[in-house]
Amino acid sequence: MAMGVLVLMMLLTVSDVLMRFLFRNPIMGSTELIEVMMAVVVFLALAWGAVTREHLKVDLLISHLSPRVQAIVDSITMFMGLGMVAIITWRSFLDSMDVQTSSALLKFPMYPFHWIMTLGFAVLCLAMVPLFIRSVVEAVKR
């Protein structure tokens, strides 16, 4: 779904640039639409990045440690990350319950995008649980 929204965002951006360049008349509200599309893309793709292990990881110091210590550090950081994502999910859920705003130019409601953010963090949290379990199993094995 995130990929489909990304394609629509690309098409809207290209169309807006062409309209601005050829006719000196940009698409009204394109900036607002692209902003919410970007939020949809980011929050719906968070869990996929975690599952495929494609999030950024800087291991300058960790790579010099033994495999067992690396697995223990990975377990600790995964546990801390899971805790942070759980708190973010909880707070974004509470925030989504109170959203009453609408966009500035097009006046469409913003609450669905807050719920998409909450859903994205909740799915990320669920995806991180088996990753945490796997990292603990790796630490115990080594």
- Sorted by where each begins, the domain ranges of the chain are 2-141
pLDDT of residue 54: 82
List Cα–Cα distances, 11 to 2, 30, 78, 102, 132, in angstroms.
14, 11, 37, 24, 38
Backbone angles phi and psi of 109, in degrees to 5: -70, 145
pLDDT band at 142 (very low <50, low <70, confident <90, very high): confident
pLDDT of residue 27: 93
pLDDT of residue 57: 76
Q: What is the rounded distance in angstroms from the CA atom of residue 116 to the CA atom of residue 93?
A: 10
What residues contact residue 139 under an 8 Å CB cut-off, 6+ apart?
68, 71, 72, 74, 75
- The string of pLDDT tens digits covering residues 80-115 is 999 999 999 999 999 999 998 998 889 999 999 999
Both tokens assigned to 43: 């929050």
Q: What value does the mean pLDDT of the chain take?
A: 93
Is the per-residue pLDDT at 118 higher than 80?
yes
- The string of pLDDT tens digits covering residues 9-53 is 999 999 999 999 999 999 999 999 999 999 999 999 999 999 998
113 and 39 in contact (C-beta within 8 Å)? yes
pLDDT band at 4 (very low <50, low <70, confident <90, very high): very high
